């Protein structure tokens, strides 16, 4: 799973930064940004293959950011982070182009599996 370029976009700074460090320790080239606008602004510089994206953020909704990412590069795979108790919002995001979703608090093993699947999907693109 090494060498994957991954971008985390979540307004919870401590969460994003810590998750980023844990992924880096596993050899993933991870970067964290803390708003939808910031995340979109670094797309060109970071050139992520996979984006982990929070669904609810103050400046832009995760669904709006997802649409912008897909407009920029449809091959970027997006895994949505949702705090909702039901899967409804995650499924809605998948209908709008997200690769998958994961609920908070995140199970790292589950997330790593989803990252792996997303990387495989991306390599087929």
Partner 1 sequence: MNAMTENTIRQEQIESLCRMMAGFSHDMKNHLGIIRESNGLMGDIVEMGGLGEDEQAMERFKKSIAAIERRVVLSANMFHHLSRLAHRSDTPYSSFQLNDLIGEECAFLERFSKLKQIELVLELGDGLHPIYSDPSLLQHVLYRLYTQCLEQMESGSSLVIITGQEGKNMIITFRLLATAQLDITKLAGETLLSAIEKLNGILEPGESTSEYTDIRLRISSLSLEQ
Binding footprint of partner 1 on the chain (CB under 8 A): 12, 14-15, 18-19, 21-22, 25, 56-59, 83-85, 104-106, 108
Measured from the CB atom, the residue of 27 and 74 that comes closer to partner 1 is 27
Q: How far is the CB of 9 from partner 1 (least distance, A)?
A: 15
Q: How far is CA 5 from the centre of its chain?
A: 11
Distance CA 113, CA 72 (A): 25
> Would you say 6 or 76 has its CB closer to partner 1?
6
Q: Shortest approach of partner 1 to residue 43 CB, angstroms? A: 22
Minimum distance, C-beta of residue 34 to partner 1, in the bound complex (Å): 13
Sign of the torsion angle spanned by Cα atoms 91, 74, 43, 123: positive
Nearer to partner 1, 74 or 83 (CB): 83
Distances (CA, A) of 27 to 11, 112, 121, 122: 24, 11, 19, 18
Closer to partner 1 by Cβ: residue 28 or 76 = 28
Query: φ and ψ at 96, to 5 degrees?
Result: -100, 15
Distance separating alpha carbons of residues 97 and 70, to the nearest angstrom: 8
Taking the complex as a whole, the smallest distance from the CB of residue 58 to partner 1 amounts, in Å, to 5
């Amino acid at each position: 799973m090494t060498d994957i370029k991954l971008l985390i976009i979540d307004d919870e700074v401590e969460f994003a930064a810590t998750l980023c460090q844990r992924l880096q320790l596993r050899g993933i080239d991870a970067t964290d940004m803390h708003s939808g606008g910031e995340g979109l602004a670094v797309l060109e510089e970071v050139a992520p293959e996979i984006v982990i994206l929070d669904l609810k953020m103050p400046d832009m909704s995760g669904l709006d950011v997802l649409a912008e990412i897909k407009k920029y590069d449809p091959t970027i795979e997006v895994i949505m982070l949702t705090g909702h108790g039901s899967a409804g919002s995650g499924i809605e995001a998948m209908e709008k182009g997200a690769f998958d979703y994961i609920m908070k608090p995140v199970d790292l093993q589950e997330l790593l599996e989803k990252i792996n699947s997303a990387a495989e999907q991306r390599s087929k693109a």
